[in-house]
Amino acid sequence: MIYSASQPNILKAANLIQSGDVVAFPTETVYGLGASAYNAKAIAKIFAIKNRPNFNPLISHIADIDFLSEYAKTDERILALAKQFWPGPMTFILNRKDNNPALDLACAGLSKISVRMPNHPVALKLIHASGVPIVAPSANKSQTISPTTAEHVQKSLGDQVPMILDAGSCIVGVESTILDMTHKQVVVLRAGGLAAETIEDFLGEKVLFSDGNPNKPSSPGQLLKHYAPRYETRINVKKTEADEFYIGFGKIQGDLNLSRSGDLQEAAANLFEMLHIAEAQTKKTKIAIAPIPNVGLGRAINDRIKRASYK
């Protein structure tokens, strides 16, 4: 059921988290399906509700940078990035500080942990009120289009979630950028809401890119098929077929346009909403998407539509 994200409702949601249940809540990227990072039974509910394979690790969300060192190994470079870009759409892959078995399911049994601080007042208030890190993948069935509104969550998960906190549409609209910080060189495992170029400018060094192993993912977002609408989808399309619902970009027009001005930030914010619209319409039986420049947030958009179109 959808609830307004008022302070009393945030406290009710925190009580659900503390009691071992799940809650859907907004972040700046997409809506998440959250549970206590230390409650394996609650985390198991997330995997069951989403029909998500339990070898696919989850991101832990925190509300204070100081908490990071409690369960993850850090260094000066990691803390400098956190102070610069948190709260925000950046997730670290870090070595776990200990072998706390309570974190095993969230980490898919790996010795590494995924963690970020969301840039959304409701998410931060919920984490503070819950008193624990909240693990939260996107609040939708696995491999379907990610939710950027409370209504998307309701449509995908229905009454399996006791509480959906509604704070309107997500501003960024694509999931966080995931950085593997366990090596000498920073590796981007998932392009996302923070452009790799921005990270490189801050660090003064180049980052590497890796899609990881889809059969044994080390971070979320590495499965070959992901974010997928029910219709067959083609990408990098300049000439459409008669049965295709066309999502344009810039000067390339279509049934919808991610950004008529060619603004990649606007396009990222619109991506999942427009995929939901394309999936809901019934006049066309396929989806086609115009070419997107593979720079800045375009990397994140292309990552999502590549996985959405995977057969």
What pLDDT score was predicted for residue 214? 64
Q: Is the pLDDT of residue 305 over 90?
A: yes
Handedness of CA 231, 152, 213, 44 (dihedral sign): negative
Q: Is the pLDDT of residue 209 over 80?
A: yes
Reference 62, options 16, 140, 143, 127; nearest CA is 127
Give yes or no: residues 181 and 272 share one domain: no
Q: Summarize the confidence of residues 67-87 as an average pLDDT.
A: 94
110 domain residue, yes or no: yes
Per-residue pLDDT of 144-173, as tens digits, reads 999 999 999 999 999 999 999 999 999 999
Alpha-carbon span 311 to 307, nearest angstrom: 9
What pLDDT score was predicted for residue 176? 96
183 domain residue, yes or no: yes
Give yes or no: residues 33 and 158 share one domain: yes
Per-residue pLDDT of 216-243, as tens digits, reads 666 676 666 778 899 999 999 999 999 9
Residue 160 is classified by DSSP as: G
226 domain residue, yes or no: no
What pLDDT score was predicted for residue 160? 96
What pLDDT score was predicted for residue 100? 76
What pLDDT score was predicted for residue 222? 61
Residue 291's domain spans which residues? 232-308
| DSSP labels, 215-279 | TS-SSTT-SSS-SB-SSEEE-S-SS--TTEEEEEBTTB--SEES-TT--HHHHHHHHHHHHHHHH
Query: Of 209, 241, 272, which residue constitutes the final position of a domain?
Result: 209
Cα dihedral 177, 182, 183, 187, rounded to 10, equals: -10
Within 8 A by CB and 6+ apart from 311, the residues are 232
Alpha-carbon span 173 to 288, nearest angstrom: 20
Q: Is the pLDDT of residue 44 over 70?
A: yes
Give yes or no: residues 35 and 179 share one domain: yes
Q: Whole-number mean pLDDT of the chain?
A: 93
Q: Is the pLDDT of residue 213 over 70?
A: no
Q: Is the pLDDT of residue 63 over 80?
A: yes
Per-residue pLDDT of 99-151, as tens digits, reads 777 788 888 888 899 999 999 999 999 999 999 999 999 999 998 999 999 99
Domain count, the chain: 2
Share of the chain above pLDDT 90, in %: 84
What pLDDT score was predicted for residue 53? 82
What pLDDT score was predicted for residue 278? 97
280 domain residue, yes or no: yes
- Report the CATH number that the domain containing residue 183 is assigned in CATH: 3.90.870.10
215 domain residue, yes or no: no
Per-residue pLDDT of 239-288, as tens digits, reads 999 999 999 999 999 999 999 999 999 999 999 999 999 999 999 999 99
